[in-house]
Structures are given as structure tokens and as C-alpha cells.
A and B are shown apart, each in its own frame.
Chain A
Amino acid sequence: MKVTFPHLGNTYICVKSILDDIGIDYVIPPFNNKRALELGTRYSPEMVCLPLKINIGNYIQAYEMGADTILMAGGCGPCRFGYYSQLHMEILKDAGFNMEVITLEGTDIMDLLSRIRSVVPGASELMKLPSVLLRAVEIAKRSDEIEMLAFRTRARESERGATDRIYNGFREKALRTAGTKNILKLLDETEAMLKSVHLDPDADPLKVGIVGEIYTGIEHFASFDIQHRLGRLGVEVDRKVTVSNWIIEHMLKKPLHLPRDMAFAEAAKPWLGAMIGGHAQETVGNAAIYAKSGYDGVIQIFPFSCMPEIVAESLLPSVERDLDIPVLTLIIDEMTGEAGYMTRIEAFIDMLEGRRENLERRKAHGMRKGKKAHDNIHA
């Protein structure tokens, strides 16, 4: 048995370290790329959302590397993601790729355990699993923190490219680093390196919050690397929807009935009072949170035909109006032209800069006026 799994940002780091520790043979498909997208598009239904197509591309590339078993997350999903793994099975079968799909979903704990047992080689490995998983959750959390730290340093670095070198090096090194303990060490080193990147002390970058569908937000290939490019243009980005957040809030706290972080739901209330599937409530709520915490703008990213995000998109103009924050929506699929999106993003940044200057001018003007009045009183 040779296991594989689809890519989602830095998730591979977390998953591979578990498989290393348990001693399961696996291959990681090449990082998301054009060929994966082409393969996925060839075998998937045309109207299905983009993430599923890239997943299929990942599987086929892994199949070429010898994989025969797929580990895939599932769940009685709040959107089409819920039946992704069923579709994966059918598509691969129809296309003649002999691969087994093991869906890991928490809907039925006994069922989940038996599925895990089908992959784990022996009893002693099974005993190790809880402590490995604990470290894996830590890895997911730390990987996301590294990404967020890189978002901050990329926008402020004195030497252009310093952050990219460290961050890309980290992703490469993680492929060659075995086991949770070694990965945690690598995370320590990377964090130290990022913290030592020389930053421009005068940098006052524009701040943009990224909201939208989880896959296109996390997987940079699927969104033309927008978040890194913004960083290289000197814009600090932030994103609240992350893999570790999903693991902790949805996979751990929810089934265990622990109190969850519902700040986004509270913030979304004036415009969207209920969970309507996918990450729509997060999108609306986080946009409002960004507006209230002094961000210059919000960019919503989602794959073409994503229903929850379409609803969110129609609500964002109200958030935009009510909280005076510019929102740019980017809808992505395999047909999307990259050039048009970069034009929009550049124009959006120009617009945010113009707004900020205007605001500062008005503030300075207001202060002068205030001072004059003050002088008059004392004259």
C-alpha cells in the first residue's frame, strides 16, 4: 500500500510527519501546478468547483509515482466539499485509475476508527497515534503562524526576496524532513530565520484582509499567488481562515462540543445571521472585523460556482457601504486570465493608497483647523 493525499497549502507538512511517525509508505504529489490542473480538468465534470479538479490532478500525478491509496478529509459537508471524496472515487474509477479512497470524517467515530486501522500497520503504531496527532495539530498551528509571519515580513523586508527565500526553502526542506519531532525543529529554525529578516523601520504597508473560500484562500497556486504578490508589492495581508483553524474549530472542538471561537459569526450578524454553508459567514464576518481593525481593504477570493461565496459576495457591498471599506472580489477557475486579475489588483492597491492619502490629508487639515480655533480662543 502506498498512500497519497491532496495538496492544500502547507497541509502536506502536517500529514507527512504523521505518516512518517506511524511508518506508512506514502508519496506526496508535486506541488500544485499547471499539469495537475490540466489533468484534473480533463477528468472532472466541467461545472464542478476548481478545488476538486486540482485534487484529481494531484491524485493522478501521485498515481504516476506509485500511489494506490488516497487519504481524503470528508464530512457531512456544509457545501459540495462534503461529497468530494465520493466524487473522487467515481471519477478515478471511470478514468481507469485503480486507487482506493479512504475518507476520514468524524460523522461516525467507530467507522472512522476502523478506517484508520485499515491504514495503520500494527497495534504498536496505533498506540503511538494519539501523541503523534497531538504534535501534528501543533505542526498545523505553527505552519500557519509561519505563513502569517511571512505575510508580515514580506511587506516590510529591506532586501527584496529575503522572505521568499526563507519561506520557499522551508517548504522544500519540509519535504525532506521526516517525522513530527524533526518538523517541529524545522519550524523553530524557520521562525527564527523569519524573525531575523531585516525590516524597513519606516515601512507603513497597506493592510489587506483576505476572505473567501478556504481552498482558494490557502492554496496559492489556485489564486495566482495573489497573497505573495501583494506582499512583494509592499502590502501586508492577513487571512483568518487557515488549515489549523479548521482542524481545531471544526474537527476537534465541534465534535467534542467545546466552545468555539465565534467572533466572525458575531461580526457577521448585521448582514448574515446564520450559517448558510461553506465559509460565507466567515467571509462576511471577517470582512467586518478587518474593517473595524483598521485594515485598508478586503479581497474576497473564491472558485467559480461556489454557492456560499456567491451569497457572501452579494452581501459584501453592504459591508463595504456600512463600514466604509473597499472590497475586491476575485472569482477563479481554470479559464481565468491572470493578466486581467493583476490589473485589477494593482488598481485596487492604487485606490487604497489614494484613499489613505486622502484620509491623512483630511486629518491633517482637520488638525490645522482645530489648532486655528484654539489659537483664536487664546488671542
Chain B
Amino acid sequence: MGSIEKEALYLGIDVGSVSTNLVTVDSDGQITAKHYRRTGGRPIQSLIDGLKIIAEQCGDAPIKGVGVTGSGRELAAVIAGADVIKNEITAHAVAAQAVVPGVRTILEIGGQDSKIILLKDGVVYDFAMNTVCAAGTGSFLDRQAARLGIPIEEFGDMALRSVTPVRIAGRCAVFAESDMIHKQQSGHSIEDIVNGLCEALVRNYLNNLAKGKEIHGPVVFQGGVAANKGIAAAFEKALGMKLTIPREYDVMGAFGAALIARRKIMNDKNSVTKFNGFDAANRIYETRSFECSGCPGLCEVVELRTDGRVQARWGDRCGKWSSFAARPELSPV
């Protein structure tokens, strides 16, 4: 009558510009634990703190695979030990498909970037990501909420209370802010201005990212900004379609990364995870960067030391520095 063995879990980590998210899924791909926290400009610290919290939630269940994504994925891969490194676009697509099978369009707005992903027959066939402007992303909304003295959590509800539409210029974050100030000084209500901003940002998103793309339902809206009811309502109005906002909208990247790790490990029975264990959170990490003078390319190389020992280097184009710890299985494809 041995003890019931704890079921194995797969860990997904998304180190983004604004938030660091961790998710564990079981062998059926169901979320067993999740954690969302602000990156606060310190990706390593926030990852370590996040690992500690998720470790408590997991108890002693073994981690069988790790997937990482987000702009800090290289860093996360080295610190946590990753079986698969994936870009955010693929991770978000995998997660949305798990929540809404047959999804055709994914709108994703995160801290610093926004994406649109189009799918057909369960396969991504087109995508776009903002290039030049971060207007409409989480960090801009954060800033505007702070300027108006409104907690970001109440921003969306406030927009829904608007009665008179106010048109805000949304082409550029700087101009949008000037226009908001202009509207505010000329006496419009804060509710109307906030709503006007939501509509402007949605207009900007649809005109830039979704330019020339046909949007078919089901449409899934995810990423941190999906918490904003004002933006969601503005999307529904502009598209004339209902949106599905997944319950785990704010950790979809990490969820996708966990699912990709799960698929990879389950497909290869002999594979052993590269996970460094939750102990990784108790080590001391230092990073430094230097300019390589090996050729005129002058790459900026980043070096990560764990407990004083060099653990990884990246940032070089030729592989001279990164290859010393070359682990082909971590190739970003």
C-alpha cells in the first residue's frame, strides 16, 4: 500500500517586460498552479521570487519539463533550466488553442508589445507584432492611469461608465497623452476621456497590426490588458464580434510554454528534464555585459554567473561566447 505518488507537472515561465508569470500543468494539460507578478525591471529577482511561490503551490510534485518564453526567455532558460525556449507568438497561440479549440483570431496585448495571430485549420497562418510604437500596450495604460491617479484595476470600469464619446488621437503615445490633457483641460469628464483612450488604442491596434487582415471568429483576447473591460468593450464594438477572454488571460504565455514543454517531453519517452530544481531560487546570480573585440562586429555579450561561476553567455552573433555552454537542445526553434 505505498503512498500515492504525486503526479508529475510541467512548468511554464514567461518573463515579460511588465510581468513575470509561472504556470504548472498536469499531464492532461490542466493548470494546477499559476502566479503573476510584476517584473519591476528586475527579471532575475522576479523570476527567483516567482519560483519560490510556485514551489510552495506545487508541494513535492516532481517537475518533468520546463518551457520558457517572453523577452527574458534566454535568462529564464539558464536560471531555471529549460527543455524548450519558445517565442511569445507561438506560446500564446498554443495556449489559446487549448482554451478555445478552433480559435481563428488571437488579440494579445502585453506590457510592451501587442500581437495579432491568425489561425486556420489549427495552424498559425499569419501574425503581426507592433514595430514602432508601444501606444496601447500595458505600460502606456499604466502610465496614463498613474497620471490620472486611478488604480489600473479600475481603469476599465471607469471607461464603461462613459456617456459621451470623446475622440482621442491614438496614433502615437506621446500625442495621445497630449490630446488627453487637452480634452481634460477643456472640461470633459474623466470617464469619457478614459473611454476615448480605450477606443483610440483599439483603433490604433486595428489600423496598424490588423491592417489588411480578415478577422474571423472565434476571437480570443488575452495578455495583461485583457483585464481592462474598457478595451475589451471597445474591441467588441469595433469588430462587431464577441470576444472570449480566457480565465487565465494574464498568464497565457506561461501556460503555452508549459504545454509546449509537456508535448516535447511526452513525445520523447527517454528525455530527462533540464530543470535545475526549485533550489535554483536560492542561488546568487550576477550578470555583466561586455563588448567583444574579436571582430569589428563588436557584439554586446552578456554573462551570467551563478554563485560566482560563469554559467552562460549570450548576445554574440558568431557563437564564440555562447557556444562554450552550447546546448543544442536549447536552440530557439
A and B part of one assembly: yes
Q: In the bound complex, how far is the Cα of B248 from the Cα of A372, in angstroms? A: 44
Taking the closest CB of chain A, its distance from the CB of B231, in whole angstroms, is 22
**A residues in contact (CB < 8 Å) with B:** 30-36, 160-161, 164, 168, 221, 225, 228-229, 232-234, 317, 326, 331, 339-340, 342-344, 346-347, 349-351, 353-355, 357-358
- Residue from the list B86, B113, B123, B332 in contact with A351, Cβ < 8 A: B123
- Give the residue name and chain of the B residue nearest to A331 (CB): B131
Chain B residue nearest to A358 in the complex (CB): B123
Asked if B333 CB lies within 8 Å of chain A CBs, one says yes
Query: Contact partner of B87 among A35, A36, A350, CB < 8 A?
Result: A350
A160-B90 in contact given A33-B298, A350-B333 (Cβ < 8 Å): no
A164 near B318 with CB under 8 A, answer yes
CB distance A340 to B125 under 8 Å? Answer: no
Give the secondary structure class of B's interface.
Answer: loop
> When the two chains form their complex, are residues A346 and B297 in contact, meaning their CB atoms are under 8 A apart?
no
Is A34 within 8 A of B87, CB to CB? no
Is A234 touching B333 in the complex (CB atoms < 8 A)? yes
In Å, the complex CA distance between A31 and B123 comes to 41
C-alpha gap A342/B331 in the complex (Å): 13
User: When the two chains form their complex, are residues A351 and B298 in contact, meaning their CB atoms are under 8 A apart?
Assistant: no
Residues B332 and A233 in contact, CB atoms below 8 Å apart: yes
How far does the Cβ of A320 sit from chain B's closest Cβ, in whole Å?
A: 8
B129 touching A340, Cβ below 8 Å: yes
Inter-chain residue pair count (beta carbon < 8 A): 83
Residue picked from A35, A228, A355, most chain B C-beta under 10 Å: A355
Across the interface, do A221 and B297 meet the contact criterion of CB distance under 8 Å? yes
A residues near B88, Cβ cutoff 8 Å = 343, 347
Given known A35-B298, A233-B332, A355-B123, contact A347–B326 (CB-CB < 8 A): no
Q: A161-B323, A340-B113, A346-B87 are in contact. Are A233 and B317 (CB under 8 A)?
A: no
With an 8 A cutoff between CB atoms, is B28 at the interface? no
Q: Is the CB of A317 within 8 A of B296?
A: no
Contact between A346 and B326, CB atoms less than 8 A apart: no
Residues 299-333 (chain B) with a chain A CB within 8 angstroms: 317-319, 323, 326, 328, 331-333
Docked complex Cα distance between A353 and B123 (Å): 10
A-B contact pairs, 23 of them (CB 8 A): A31-B296, A32-B296, A33-B296, A33-B297, A36-B296, A161-B319, A161-B323, A168-B318, A221-B297, A339-B71, A343-B88, A344-B87, A344-B89, A344-B127, A346-B87, A347-B89, A350-B90, A351-B90, A355-B123, A355-B125, A357-B123, A358-B122, A358-B123
Bound complex: CA A229 to CA B124 (Å): 22
- Chain A residues with Cβ below 8 Å from B86 are 346, 350
| Contact A347–B123 (Cβ < 8 Å) | no
Residues of chain B within 8 A of A31, CB atoms compared:
295-297
- B121 adjacent to chain A (CB < 8 Å): yes
Q: Which of B121, B131, B333 contacts A233 (CB 8 A)?
A: B333
Which 4 A-B pairs have CB atoms at the shortest separation, nearest pair first? A347-B89, A30-B296, A33-B296, A346-B87
Assembly CA distance A33 to B332 (angstroms): 25
Which of chain B's residues 260-317 have a Cβ closer than 8 Å to chain A?
295-298, 317
A198 to chain B, nearest CB (A): 16
Please determine whether A34 and B123 come into contact, CB atoms closer than 8 angstroms: no
A29 closest partner in B (C-beta): B296
Complex Cα distance, B297 from A34, in Å, reads 7
